[in-house]
Amino acid sequence: MNDRFGHQVGDRVLIHATRCIQQAIRTQDIVGRIGGEEFCIYLPNTDLHAAIAVAQRVRKMLVNTPLKLEDESTLLVTASLGVASHEETPEGDLEHIQSQADIRLYRAKQQGRNRVCWSGEAELQA
């Protein structure tokens, strides 16, 4: 993004993404930027199905809310998201949950971007 449009537009995309994420989550949820253009959303007391719904809501919010640039053109922002749940890690190891979400994020990117990936996708999408 920065290479193509410059750092100023890259910064605006990050702000835009943050606003869209905040609109898609609950007040008790926590969002943080973990590096570059990656964010982590912590959803307390949320099962896998509800977390997937939140991820889809975030993705749709970004796609349906293009960023208006200073020259009045618009920029479509998409997101690839990986979802992991405490249900997959009974001991609640947050590092493991984060690692699983990261693996799924990269799988979403490999599968064509602008999508949500989670464990057991085939069963849940069927």
Task: Work out whether the CA dihedral 4, 5, 10, 11 comes out positive or negative.
Answer: positive
27 has pLDDT over 90: yes
53 has pLDDT over 60: yes
Task: Identify the CATH number of the domain in which residue 54 sits.
Answer: 3.30.70.270
Total domains in the chain come to: 1
For the segment 51-68, the average pLDDT, to the nearest whole number, is: 96
In a domain, 55, yes or no: yes
Residue with more model confidence, 91 or 64: 64
Q: pLDDT band at 80, cuts 50/70/90?
A: very high
In a domain, 103, yes or no: no
In a domain, 69, yes or no: yes
Domain enclosing residue 8, as ranges: 2-92
The predicted pLDDT at position 86 comes to 87
In a domain, 81, yes or no: yes
37 is an active site residue: yes
In a domain, 126, yes or no: no
124 has pLDDT over 70: no
